[in-house]
Chains A and B, each alone.
Chain A
Amino acid sequence: MRASPDKAALRASQWIYRRCLWLYPRTHRAEFGGQMEQLFRDQCREAWRKHAWRGLAAVWLRALPDLFQTAVAEHLSSVREPESKPGRLARMLKVQSNSPTLAARVALAAFVPLVGVALVVMVSFLQPKTYTSESRLLVRWVIPEAPIAGQPVNDPAALYRINRLMVEREIRLMQSDTVLERVLQRQRSNTVESKSKVGDGGPSTREALARLRWQLQVSSAPESGIIKLRVTSGSAKDSARLATALVETYLAQTREAADPKLRQLTSALDAPGLKLEGQDPKLPRVYGVSLIQQPTLGERTIHPNILRNLPPGGVGGLLIGLLAGGGIAVLARRIAQRRSSQIPAPNLICLPANGLRST
């Protein structure tokens, strides 16, 4: 036999509310859960008798905010440390008339930003020093008479696309396994007796390659043929040395790629499996790449762990601290108002606090 719609609705409401009671702390649920469920059921029955679905919806609209607010309040109450009896009674029942003093507010406002500044400075100084060496290359090409890769050469938009394709191909080539492995080989041969940062027999080739990729950053300047290469390392000399090795290896590679005979020779010398990546056979190499800026000595630290970077770091920390402090203060004030039953002035006139709802 199927239940009537009203009974089914009431039963479903009661079932859902019973599940929602799990939001309360276990002790509160054990002591009052049954009564709360019973009270909710009585409310639902009365509302249904008077206004059917509309009444039931109104009960839920009142019950849900009440449920979430009081569940949070009970959890906060359950984790609070025990107090002396008079203090506890006063807190539980009394409207606290004494708001935080001005001194307390000033102390809080000063303390939180200071913590923010201290954290920023501490994190900055804990970071290891890193240096970046930068180099620039220019992709130069001559506009041929014949179409390139199906693109007409008299169309500016097509020329722009071809230029972009060429730059992208060079960037891929610069980051290819072929070039990077040659850089590793060069590093190993140059630093047989000294301990190299990159692949000195410790890490495997794959790990060394991954590390090298992490150190390398290649990008292109917009709407130009300029390629920017940055290499990061723990010392200024290492970063410059590595950047030089990369640039020289890459340029040698491009020369080999441009000369078919040389290319055939080097591919025979290369280890099996090494492939020249980044080469698009549809796009002929009708251009050359030249170095326009030698790798610089990496003197620029990229973390603010030097004294001159402290003021901007401090200002940043201050702003973060102020934002965090403001957020915490607003949150703490709201929780304190709710917990101390302090009624905001407008609520004294129209709506009493603490869950009493106006219908």
Chain B
Amino acid sequence: MPKNDPEPNELLPLTPAAFHVLLALADGERHGYAIMQEIAEHTDGRMKMGPGTLYGTIKRLLEAKLIEESDERPDPQLDDERRRYYRLSGLGEKVVRAESQRYADLAAVARGKKLIGRLAVVVQA
């Protein structure tokens, strides 16, 4: 990481929109519509981002160098060439990890106060 880059903790806490976008990109590069669908999916369809919010957030994440534009296309035959794909940068990955840990710590506190239930461990046969 270059010396000028800030420490991940300096950027916390993230806005919900920024955190959701980073989470959506955590397991691979995606274009805007796929990011929106991923967010809708991991919130059980309760949250949908409008184009203005999504690309406003993407713009700020690009400026902050937490994400970067990808030149690669999964399959040019199957996809629109005009789509732009985004992926997490090294700093972005650290920041989303730190933010996730922060949420996990908060969840642990809430669990300790019995505000939410304990995690259930499901063992598949």
Contacts and interface: CB of A to CB of B under 8 A. Distances in A.
Interface of A: 24, 28, 31-32, 34-40, 42-43, 62-63, 65-67, 69-71, 73-74, 85-86, 88-90, 92-95, 341, 343, 352-359
A70 B13 CA distance: 21
B42 interface: no
Contact of A36 (B20, B51, B64): B51
A359 B58 contact: no
A31 B48 contact: no
Contacts of B66: 93
A354 B15 contact: yes
A341 B61 CA distance: 14
Given A63-B52, A343-B15, A356-B16, 14 more contacts: A39-B36, A43-B33, A43-B36, A62-B48, A67-B52, A70-B50, A73-B56, A94-B13, A352-B20, A355-B53, A356-B20, A356-B48, A357-B47, A357-B49
A35 B60 contact: no
B11 interface: yes
B78 to A, nearest CB: 15
Contact of A39 (B14, B20, B39, B54): B54
Nearest to B32: A39
B47 A359 contact: yes
B27 interface: no
Nearest to B99: A93
B83 to A, nearest CB: 7
B18 interface: yes
A66 B58 CA distance: 15
Contact of A32 (B15, B18, B58, B83): B58
Contacts of B36: 39, 43
Contacts of B14: 93-95
Interface string B20-63: 10000000000011001001000001111111111111111101
B32 A355 contact: no
Given A70-B50, A71-B52, A356-B20, A89 B13 contact: no
Given A66-B52, A70-B52, A70-B56, A38 B64 contact: no
A353 to B, nearest CB: 6
A355 B51 CA distance: 10
A90 B55 contact: no
Nearest to A28: B59
A359 B56 contact: no
A355 B20 contact: no
A86 B63 CA distance: 12
B98 to A, nearest CB: 12
B53 A356 contact: yes
Given A34-B82, A39-B32, A341 B15 contact: yes
Contacts of A353: 15-17
Contacts of A86: 6, 10
B75 interface: no
A24 B84 CA distance: 20
Interface string B80-119: 1011100000000000000000000000000000000000
30 contacts: A24-B52, A31-B59, A32-B55, A32-B58, A35-B84, A36-B32, A38-B80, A38-B83, A39-B36, A39-B55, A40-B51, A42-B33, A43-B51, A66-B53, A67-B50, A70-B52, A88-B63, A92-B60, A93-B14, A94-B11, A94-B12, A94-B14, A95-B13, A341-B15, A343-B16, A354-B16, A356-B16, A356-B17, A356-B20, A356-B53
B47 A93 contact: no
Contacts of B63: 88, 92
Contacts of B82: 34-35, 38
B4 interface: yes
B122 to A, nearest CB: 28
A273 to B, nearest CB: 69
A42 B30 CA distance: 15
B97 to A, nearest CB: 15
A38 B47 contact: no
Contacts of A32: 55, 58-59
Contacts of A89: 6, 10-11, 64
